[in-house]
Amino acid sequence: MHSATIRPARQSCVRVSMSAATATASRLDAIEQAPADPILGVSEAYKADNSPDKLNLGVGAYRTEDLKPYVLDVVKKAEKRMIEAEENKEYLPIDGLADFKKATLQLLLGSGHAAIKENRIACVQSLSGTGSLRVGADFIAKFLKGTKVYLSNPTWGNHKNIFTDAGVEWKWYRYFDPETVGLDFEGMCSDLEAAPEGSIIVLHGCAHNPTGIDPTQEQWGKIADICKSKNLLPFFDVAYQGFASGSLDDDAFAPRFFVDQGLEVMVSQSYSKNLGLYGERVGALSFVLSDDGAAKRVLSQLKRIARAIYSNPPVHGARIVAEVVGNEDMFTEWKQEMEGMAGRIKTVRQVLRDNLEKINPDKDWSFITSQIGMFSFTGLTPPQVENMTNKHHVYMTKDGRISLAGLNKAKSEYLAKAIDDSVRNC
């Protein structure tokens, strides 16, 4: 008997052609890399820095004295009430939660205002301030074709993106005077008077971003007169109501004054700052008009625009706002917490100014405390900003804006020394 010879099995050899192995280029291969966001990109660079001295003064988000994110106590209470009420997660109507809209208009114009009673306001809940501005920009593009929008120079960086992407032409009006580090009011008025009749003027309701410089009440009166004489449509961006001065009523002066002067206005509102609802994306767009018929028709078109963009708005943050504003005790507590946040920033402003005056008494640092709100426009040049970041690990936007909400008293002297070094040597 012969034993069988067992041969190892021959492994199959699969040849892959070079054309199959080579990855096919994407049909989108020619798309250019977009530049990093000038604000959010600052945070990314900050996170990558391992220095113990680093400071993030780029993003406008409130921090405690320990430089930690802050969830308001009144927000926690509202959420507890919502859980206990076993609220559902059903879709909201396209224009949002009715109680939220009621609360929002009450904050904007004051309870019992004639425009509210007479149903002369078209209001839609939207995705915080950015979403509200974008719905407004799309409305302008569709129904006010050819109308130019005027933005303050400088302004919040995303304003340009919003109107550009909506296909709306925009131009600058003068606002900041680098010589005085203050308001160029004459230049502003001159540019508004030179704007084509019927133009739309974007105005910051309070705590101008990025400068922190607001017109006085007398100056607001002059601006309103120009809007009347030129038939300009004011578009207020109200992102910091209650957060700037600590008073909801004081910070609403400008839009209330314009409405009471008989002007029609557009208003974008956000609850990111004053209620700390950054991630909830809750805000509103309102048109305050001269009659209820126009308001009804405008609302119908705003709903069509919103439906095509995001269908309907998120419910959680809207319920928080409605709970807080609709409950007298919680509303009072919220105002106290806002006063506390605004007060901390005012204190930090003063401490920073004191340190700067101590280090460099020959320079006028008064603009630090004359500005208002979350930001200070330092007037630092791009090379000076680079020095702040590369040498001192202080992260800020390239236009010289710093968010004082990200500063505390303990770090104020360090920041003052960094600013002084940059001013002297760059």
Catalytic residues: 156, 237, 273
| Count of CA atoms in the C-beta half-sphere (13 A) of 107 | 34
DSSP string across 324-350? HHHSHHHHHHHHHHHHHHHHHHHHHHH
- Answer whether the bond into residue 154 is a cis peptide, omega within 30°: yes
Type and span of the H or E element at 132: helix 128-143
Residues 6+ positions from 193 with CB-CB distance below 8 Å? 226, 230
Type and span of the H or E element at 204: strand 200-204
Residues in the chain: 426
- Rounded Cα distance, 171 and 201, in Å: 10
Instruction: Report yes or no: 200 and 140 within 8 Å, Cβ to Cβ.
Output: yes
Q: Supply 194's token pair.
A: 């030179």
The one-letter amino acid code at 111 reads S
Q: Supply 171's token pair.
A: 């131009």
Beta-strand pair 121-126/283-288: antiparallel
Q: Please report where in the chains the tokens 């993003």 appear, as a residue.
A: 59
Q: Is 298 strand, coil or helix? A: helix
Q: Supply 217's token pair.
A: 């009440």
Instruction: Report yes or no: 181 and 211 within 8 Å, Cβ to Cβ.
Output: no
